[in-house]
Each structure stands twice: as C-alpha cells, then as structure tokens.
Amino acid sequence: MALGVAAACDLTPPIDRLTFGSLNCATNLGFMHTARPLAHVRAEHVLASRLAGLSGPVDEVTADTGGLDLIRQEANLGVELGFKGTI
C-alpha cells in the first residue's frame, strides 16, 4: 500500500484517476480507521494525482452508514482535501 502511494506520481495514462481504499490502507499500514490517521494518506493521494496529471481522486467509502451526519462530514472532508468524488 505505502509503495503504491509513493509510486502513484509515476503513473501515466491510461490511468485516469486514483481511488482510495481506507479500510485496506488502515489495515495494511497498521493504524486505526479514523479521520486523523487517514488524513495524511488521503492528502498524498490528492498530491500524487496532481503530480501525475490525473483527474482528482475518488475518496474512501464511509464504513459506518449509521447516520447521514457522519456521511456528510466524511464527504465534506474529502472535498476539503481535494477529492472529486466518493464511493
């Protein structure tokens, strides 16, 4: 996972955009699936997309669908970070 994020800057077409799998990321890198530890990796996806000349990345799925407030909060954070969509 970490090497994939680091190498994303070297991508060229036919790749159009990156997607971010937060559950896989947290598991692979060994941290909690919460906004704070994921923020850096999410920002790296946006940066890598820009550096590679790709369209803005698609953000993570919201794992907890128990309330619309949380879904809105996570979607808004994605927009703030530069994501252009969400799963």
22 sits in which H/E element: helix 22-29
Distance CA 78, CA 18 (A): 14
Question: How do residues 51-83 score in pLDDT, each as one tens digit?
Answer: 888 889 999 887 777 788 888 888 898 999 999
Do 46 and 5 contact (CB within 8 A), yes or no?
Answer: no
Q: What is the CATH number of the domain that holds 43?
A: 3.20.20.60
The confidence band for 46, taking pLDDT boundaries of 50, 70 and 90, is very high
To the nearest 10 degrees (0 to 180), the angle between helices 22-29 and 35-51 is 110
Do 87 and 63 contact (CB within 8 A), yes or no?
Answer: no
Which pTM does this prediction carry?
A: 0.76
Determine the structural domain holding residue 29 and report its residue range: 2-9+16-86
How many independent structural domains does the chain possess? 1
